[in-house]
Amino acid sequence: MILIPAIDLKDGHCVRLKQGDMNQSTTFGEDPAVMAKSWLDKGARRLHLVDLNGAFAGKPQNFSAVKAILQAVGDDIPVQLGGGIRDMDTIEKYIDAGMRYIIIGTAAVKNPGFLKEACIAFGGHIIVGLDAKDGKVATDGWSKLSGHEVIDLGKKFEDYGVESIIYTDIGRDGMLSGINIEATVKLAQALTIPVIASGGLAGMKDIDALCAAHNDDNDAAIQGVICGRAIYSGDLDFAAAQKRADSLTA
Active site residues: 8, 131
* Cβ-contact 185, 222 below 8 angstroms: yes
The whole-angstrom separation of Cα 186 and Cα 224 is 15
DSSP class of residue 161 equals T
3-state secondary structure of 27: strand
Best CA proximity match to 12, nearest among 71, 63, 49 = 63
Closest CA to 212 of 188, 229, 192: 188
Going by C-alpha positions, the residue among 134, 108, 130, 248 that lies closest to residue 197 is 130
Q: Identify the three-state secondary structure at position 23.
A: strand
